[in-house]
Amino acid sequence: MREYGAVEMGGTRTSCAAGSSPEDLSRKVTFPTTAPAETLGKVVEFLREQAPVAIGIAAFGPLGLVGGRIGVTPKEGWSGTDLVGPVRNAIDVPIGLDTDVNGAALGESRWGAARGLDTFVYVTVGTGIGGGALVDGEPIHGLGHPEMGHISVRRHPDDDYPGICRLHGDCLEGLASGPAIEGRSGIRGEGLSGSDLAKAVEFEAFYLAQMIRNLVYILAPERVIVGGGASRLPGLIDQVNESLIEELSGYPGLAEHESGFVVSPGLGDMSGLAGALVLAARAFDRAMSSE
């Protein structure tokens, strides 16, 4: 089997691995995402030892897809960082780059909860909210890439939390990301219990169901996967499915929307690294076919 290098670069942590599928990613390292030069230095150091035939990078954004640079980001020191150049200068193999959510979608498509599907969306709910859509098997790239977490939603009638998005205040991310859950209750999501937990799940499902309603009406996805740390609130996925049925009000009335349309990732925490493997394989195949 060909060995690919996989890099999942998050705003907090970066993971690197080598292999050909999620099952054989034995050599895996994870370290904090610090300053760009230091972080990319560690990435290069790891990858050099693995001697992969191609490398895939699934990275936090916003990501400019031309030139492989990070856009303007609140993460200090990272705006304008070239992610591909330093890796390519050190290891001359094909490199595939995409957003972390598109990467996770590709991973779920190949090995996870979206196997056999052409059109679906992977949504992550964590420090922020983002989504990667595959349409006819390909990630959507337009002018930049979609920023689904920043759509506007109507407020839950009992929610007076102002919202935490630095740009929009009470957009979806502002009301339903992990920091919003904590900001509203004063307790991190994993520490919630009893009526606090029930309320958090109700609000979270109310907001996420609106997002998924919009996705259903715009993209007609075959499934929606919801991952990320905040998606693990007990009972959340079931509640999102129920709230979505209310949001859709029977239109278009597809049986698929009624149960199990919204699911957890099949690969758990491995979607991103698995997606980086797919990005590497795609870059390798592109390079071969252009020779």
In the chain, count H helices and then E strands. 8, 12
Minimal distance, residue 240 CB to Zn ion, in Å: 20
Residue in 131, 129, 113 with CA at minimum distance from that of residue 121: 131
232 near Zn ion, judged by CB under 5 A = no
44 near Zn ion, judged by CB under 5 A = no
The answer to whether the CB of 79 falls within 8 A of the CB of 73 is: yes
220 near Zn ion, judged by CB under 5 A = no
Applying CB under 5 A, the span of 34-42, 127-135, 142-150, 267-275 interacting with Zn ion comes to 142-150
129 near Zn ion, judged by CB under 5 A = no
Applying CB under 5 A, the span of 35-43, 51-59, 171-179, 219-227 interacting with Zn ion comes to 171-179
- State whether residue 203 is helix, strand or coil: helix
Q: 30 or 152: whose CB is closer to Zn ion?
A: 152
Among 110, 150, 155, 282, the residue binding Zn ion under the rule CB under 5 A is: 150
How far apart, in Å, are the Cα atoms of 247 and each of 144, 238, 276?
A: 29, 14, 34
Amino acid letter, residue 254 = L
168 near Zn ion, judged by CB under 5 A = yes
Residue 77 buriedness (CB in 10 A; 0-12 / 13-18 / 19+)? middle
Applying CB under 5 A, the span of 116-124, 150-158, 195-203, 217-225 interacting with Zn ion comes to 150-158
73 near Zn ion, judged by CB under 5 A = no
274 near Zn ion, judged by CB under 5 A = no
110 near Zn ion, judged by CB under 5 A = no
171 near Zn ion, judged by CB under 5 A = yes
First to last CA, the chain: 21
153 near Zn ion, judged by CB under 5 A = no
The per-residue DSSP string of 220-261 comes to --S-EEEESGGGGSTTHHHHHHHHHHHHHTTSS--GGGTSSS
Applying CB under 5 A, the span of 24-32, 44-52, 166-174, 277-285 interacting with Zn ion comes to 166-174
Site residues (CB under 5 A) for Zn ion?
A: 150, 165, 167-168, 171, 173
